[in-house]
Structures are given as C-alpha cells and as structure tokens.
C-alpha cells in the first residue's frame, strides 16, 4: 500500500514538473518575440566596435600623456635653468664652483636650527624675524 502511495506521489510530481516546464517554454517564446534577437545582435556588434575604438583611443591618449610627461627631459631642463639662474644671481662665484658641488648643494635640504624650528612652531611667519633668529 505504501509503495502505491509513493508511486502516485511521484506521478503527481512529474505532472507538476511537466506543467511548469510547459509554462516556462511559453514564457521563453514570448521573451524571444519581444527581444527581437537579430536587432540585439546588430546592436551588440556595433557596441563591440565602439568599445574597440574606445580602447584604441585610450591607448593613444595614454601614450601621448606618457610622452608629454617624460620626467627625464624635464629634470635636465630644470637643472639647466637652475644653473642659469645661479650664474646670473651669483655671477662669477657660482660659475667658479665645480658642477658636483652645485648639485650637492641643491640636493641638501635647507637646514634649520632648533631656535628656528621653535620660532616656526610658535607661528613666526615674518621672514625678517626668522632672519634675526638666524643671525
């Protein structure tokens, strides 16, 4: 008796599954009719072409920016300009300094004394007051 009951339950479950699958098939047919697959395919192809163009343009822009922001050339130009300014300001004295000494001086940060640091911490902004402390 139990096996007959289970067999009937299985048959009912199979019938329900068949009903759900047929409803799903109907829904899929309706979606296909609404979606118009050929038009979507054309749109996706156009989208792919545009994305390819955008990728190529992005590469061109990246290359242009990399070339424009080439730091090695800029550093050399900056060093030349600094040398010109030093020569014009200090005159013969700066011109007589060896190049290695000038580069070393430029690389050294401005050194402050403990008194200057304390004055800066207290809020002394006036350059004249800082010069008095340095002297």
pLDDT, averaged per 10 consecutive residues of the chain (135 residues), comes to: 91 95 94 84 90 86 77 75 79 61 55 58 58 62
The reported pLDDT for the residue numbered 20 is 95
Neighbours of 119 (CB within 10 A): 19
Token code pair at residue 70: 């080439």
Going from the C-alpha of 83 to that of each of 11, 30, 108, the distances in angstroms are: 96, 78, 16
The reported pLDDT for the residue numbered 92 is 63
The reported pLDDT for the residue numbered 24 is 95
pTM: 0.30
The reported pLDDT for the residue numbered 54 is 85
């Amino acid at each position: 008796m139990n096996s007959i009951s289970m067999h009937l339950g299985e048959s009912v479950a199979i019938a329900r599954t068949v009903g759900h699958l047929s409803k799903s098939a109907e829904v899929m047919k309706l979606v296909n009719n609404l979606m118009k697959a050929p038009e979507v395919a054309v749109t996706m192809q156009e989208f792919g072409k545009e994305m390819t163009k955008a990728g190529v343009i992005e590469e061109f822009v990246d290359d242009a920016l990399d070339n424009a922001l080439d730091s090695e050339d800029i550093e050399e130009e900056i060093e030349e300009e600094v040398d010109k300014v030093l020569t014009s300001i200090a005159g013969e004295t700066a011109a007589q300094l060896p190049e290695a000494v000038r580069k070393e001086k430029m690389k050294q940060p401005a050194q402050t004394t403990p008194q200057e640091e304390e004055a800066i911490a207290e809020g002394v902004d006036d350059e004249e007051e800082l010069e008095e402390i340095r002297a």
